[in-house]
Chain A
C-alpha cells in the first residue's frame, strides 16, 4: 500500500482502561495463547505422554517384582500404592515449572528479556502464566492416558483412597505447582551474577526428584528424608504424591500449611532478588 494515500486513520494516545481486572485479563490471555501454542506441536505432546506412560509401566514391572520378592509392605506401602504415588509425581512434573528455569536463565544470559521488561506487566507473572499454559495440556492429556492405564493394569486405586483424599491431593497439587514455579524462578535469577545458573538447577532438580518421590515414594524412605522434604522447599512441589499414604487423611492440612509457608518465603525472595536483578541488569549490545 503506498503510504502517500493515507487511507488509514490512526491517532495517538489511546487511554488504556487500567482497571483492576486489566492485569488479570492480560495474564489470562498469556495463558490461553501459550495453551494454543502447545497445540501447534501435537507430535511433541504425544511423544512426551508416551514417555510418561512407558516410565510408569517400567516402574510397575519393577515394583511388582520387588514386592513379590520381599513378600511384605515397606513402611505401610505396598506395590500398588508405590506405583500410584510415582505416577502422580510424573503427571505433576508435566504441569509444573522446571522449564521456567531454562526460559529465564536463557533470557537473562542472552538479554532477550529486554523486550519484556519494558512492558506494563510483571515479567515473573508473565512467565508463570506462560509456563502454566504450556504445561497444563500436557498434564491433562497424560492424565487421560495414565489413569485408565493404571486402573486397567492394577485393577483399582489403593485401599486408603477416598474422595476427601482426592480433594486434598488436588489442593496440594495446585499448591505444589506454585511452589515449583517459585523455586525454579528463584534459582534462575542468579544467572545475572554467575555465568550460568545451571548447576543450581541440577542440585535443586535432583533434590525435588528424590524428595518428591520420583522413583521411590517418600513414605518408603528413612524418616530423616521426611523431615528434609518438609523443611526444605524441595519436597513441597510434590506433596500431592503422598495422597495414597496410610496417614494422609490426618496429615494433609499440615502439608498445605507447609506449602503456604514456602510460597510466602520463596515469593518474597523472588520479588527481592528480581528487584536487585533489574537494577544490575547488563544486556549485550547495551
Chain B
C-alpha cells in the first residue's frame, strides 16, 4: 500500500536580512547581511493511510514549518515530499482537493457570516455535487454538534465552538487526510475532550489519516497511535505513543496513605526520592534504573499502618519535557 505521506531528507532554511550598524542605511539597503536559520534539518519519515500521528516538539522545533511544507504552503529548500501521491508544491490544486487543514491559531471560516455560509462556500470550492454536500453537511453537523450554532456569525462563537466548526469545514470534501496544527490551543478541558473524541471518531470510522501537532500531551495520548518528536529541526523519536512511555519511562511515582497522621520512614537509598512526607501521606519517586520497584516497595512496606499504596507513571507531559531537554 502506498504511503499517505512520504518525506525524504526534507530541509527548510529561512533567510532574512539583519541590520549591520557598521554599514549605514545604503549599505544595509543595497547589500544587506543575510542570516539563515535551518528550521527543518534533513528529516525523513513516512505515514501509512489511516494512521493517526502526533508530530510534536518544543517551540521553534520545526513542526509548523513541516506541516506547511506538507500542505503546499511553504517550499522546501531541499528534499522530497509526497502526500497522497502528489508533490505539494507542484500539484498544489490537485493535492488541495484531497486534504483538509486546520490551523488552531488562524481561521478559515468567514468571520462575519454564519457557519452555514462557510460550509456552502467550501462545497463550491471543492466542487462537491449538491446531494453529496447536503448529506455530508448533515453528518458533520451531527458529529460536531454544531446544529444550534449553524446560523450564528463566526465572530459570535466561543473558541470551542469555532474549533469544532473549523474541523467540520475542513472535512466537508471528505479528505482522506487531515492536517491539524494545534487544534486544541486555548480550549477548556471539556471542549478539548469533545474535540479529541471527534478526531478519534473520524480516524477510526472513516480511516482518515490524522497528522496533528500539539503542545498538549492529552491530544497525543487520546488521538494519536504514533508519535514523532522533532527538536532543532530533527526527528528524535518515532514510535508508537505507548512506546514513548516504555522507552523513556524510568521513574515511578509512589503514593502512600497511612492510618492516622503517621509519617513514612524509609531507608534513604539511591534511586528513592521523597517528594512529600507528613500528615498521613507520602509521595516518592523511584528511579527504576537504580532501584527495582520491588525493592522500593519492600522498603516502604516495612512501615506500619499503611492504608493504601498507588504506583503511577509520571504524566506524559513530563516524559516529553525530559525528551526535549535531553536533545
> Are B206 and A10 in contact, with the CB atoms below 8 A?
yes
Is the CB of B300 closer than 8 A to any CB of chain A? no
> Are B73 and A283 in contact, with the CB atoms below 8 A?
yes
> Are A33 and B117 in contact, with the CB atoms below 8 A?
yes
Is the CB of A164 closer than 8 A to any CB of chain B? no
Tell me which of A13, A116, A118, A280 has the highest count of chain B C-beta atoms within 10 A of its own C-beta: A118
Chain A proximity mask over B168-192: 1 for CB below 8 Å, otherwise 0 = 0001011110000000000000000
Q: A156 to B206, alpha carbons, bound, how many Å?
A: 68
CB distance from B17 to the nearest CB of A (A): 9
Q: Is the interface of A mostly helix, strand, loop or mixed?
A: loop
Is the CB of A120 closer than 8 A to any CB of chain B? yes
B-chain residues with CB within 8 Å of residue A114 when the two chains form the complex? 68, 73, 103, 106
Is the CB of A40 closer than 8 A to any CB of chain B? yes
CB distance from A129 to the nearest CB of B (A): 11
Is the CB of A92 closer than 8 A to any CB of chain B? no
Is the CB of A254 closer than 8 A to any CB of chain B? no
> Are B171 and A16 in contact, with the CB atoms below 8 A?
no
Chain A proximity mask over B14-35: 1 for CB below 8 Å, otherwise 0 = 1010000000000000000000
Of the candidate stretches A18-26, A66-74, A96-104, the one touching chain B is A18-26
Is the CB of A279 closer than 8 A to any CB of chain B? yes
CB distance from B97 to the nearest CB of A (A): 5
Q: A27 to B117, alpha carbons, bound, how many Å?
A: 14
> Are A115 and B174 in contact, with the CB atoms below 8 A?
no
The 4 residue pairs across chains A and B that have the minimum distance between CB atoms: A16-B127, A22-B127, A120-B96, A10-B139
Contact surface of B with A, Cβ cutoff 8 Å: 14, 16, 39, 64-65, 68, 71-75, 92-93, 96-97, 99, 101, 103, 105-108, 110, 112-113, 117, 120-121, 124-129, 132, 135-136, 139-140, 142-143, 145, 153, 171, 173-176, 197-198, 200-202, 205-208
Can you name 12 extra interface pairs (CB under 8 A) apart from A10-B206, A120-B126, A286-B68?
A3-B143, A3-B198, A13-B174, A14-B173, A22-B124, A33-B110, A36-B113, A118-B96, A281-B73, A281-B74, A283-B64, A283-B73
Can you list 26 A-B contacts (CB < 8 A)?
Answer: A1-B142, A8-B139, A10-B139, A10-B174, A11-B206, A13-B176, A14-B128, A14-B136, A16-B97, A19-B127, A22-B127, A26-B125, A28-B124, A29-B120, A29-B121, A29-B124, A29-B125, A33-B113, A36-B117, A114-B73, A115-B103, A117-B72, A118-B99, A119-B108, A121-B93, A281-B75
